[in-house]
């Protein structure tokens, strides 16, 4: 129920009806070594893209699992951030780090390494109406992940010719080190009067 509570009535109806689901992947590349800004490039505009679309790079969407917790000073935990891997077609070679037109660069401006870039993954559901189909984003499912690892796999034939090239991108939830992996300390608390009007004070996290 917690997840469905973030859906609009139209989205719930569409999902219950089995309407098409569409996903979108972008790669964001820093514009300089200071990472003062990023520019986005479409990796794939949907598992169900418009006919003739050139943005059909993702061949295996993968999956991810998120865990939420609230560590306190009295509970020893080792949080882990959500990691997400998906597989892309790399037949054009643009996911190789050393290719001339690789996707980890702002052409003629800055060449980044993959780990300086991040992925944005969004999910949409189709809303059908007499006026046409619209794609409604499931906003709470958006994921932004810092690229952690790039793995290339090339398949050859008996003539040693490359017939298939794929790249697996693994990324980790962006900003996790600053938020999810932080444990509350005593110094984070605020003394506040107890609700029963007593003179003693309790401790709470703001």
Whole-number CA gyration radius for the chain: 22
Report which of residues 159 and 166 the model is more confident about. Answer: 166
Q: State which of 27-36, 85-94, 191-200 shows the largest mean pLDDT.
A: 27-36
CA distances, 165 to each of 90, 132, 147, 184 (Å): 5, 37, 19, 46
Average pLDDT over residues 146-171: 84
Domain count of the fold of the chain = 1
pLDDT higher than threshold 60 for residue 206:
no
Cβ(181)–Cβ(82) under 8 Å? no
pLDDT higher than threshold 50 for residue 153:
yes
pLDDT higher than threshold 70 for residue 175:
yes
- How would residue 49 be classed by pLDDT, with cut points 50, 70 and 90? low
Closest CA to 23 of 54, 52, 7, 47: 47
Q: How far apart, in whole angstroms, are the C-alpha atoms of residue 51 and residue 49?
A: 6
**SS3 sequence of 128-180:** EECCEEEEEECHHHCEEEEEEEEEEEEEECCCCCEEEEEEEEEEEECCHHHCC
Length of the chain: 206
- Quick: pLDDT tens for 97-130: 999 999 999 999 999 999 999 999 999 999 999 9
Average pLDDT over residues 16-24: 93
DSSP lists the bridge partners of residue 204 as: 190
Mean pLDDT for the chain overall: 82
For residue 110, the model assigns a pLDDT of: 97
Domain interval for residue 68 = 4-204
For residue 2, the model assigns a pLDDT of: 40
């Amino acid at each position: 129920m917690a997840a469905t509570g973030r859906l609009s009535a139209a989205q719930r109806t569409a999902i219950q009806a089995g309407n098409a689901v569409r996903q979108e992947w972008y790669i964001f590349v820093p514009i300089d070594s200071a990472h003062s800004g990023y520019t986005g490039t479409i990796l794939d505009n949907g598992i169900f893209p418009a006919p003739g679309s050139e943005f059909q790079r993702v061949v295996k969407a993968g999956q991810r699992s998120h865990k939420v917790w609230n560590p306190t000073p009295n509970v020893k935990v080792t949080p882990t951030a959500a990691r997400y891997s998906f597989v892309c077609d790399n037949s054009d070679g643009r996911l190789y780090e050393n290719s001339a037109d690789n996707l980890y660069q702002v052409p003629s401006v800055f060449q980044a390494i993959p780990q300086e870039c991040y992925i944005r993954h969004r999910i949409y559901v189709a809303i059908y109406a007499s006026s046409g189909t619209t794609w409604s984003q499931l906003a709470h499912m958006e994921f932004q992940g810092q690229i952690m690892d790039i793995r290339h796999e090339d398949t050859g034939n008996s003539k040693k010719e490359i017939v298939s090239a794929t790249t697996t991108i693994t990324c980790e939830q962006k900003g996790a080190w600053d938020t999810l992996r932080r444990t509350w300390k005593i110094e984070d608390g605020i003394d506040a009067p107890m609700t029963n009007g007593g003179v003693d004070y309790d401790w709470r996290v703001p």
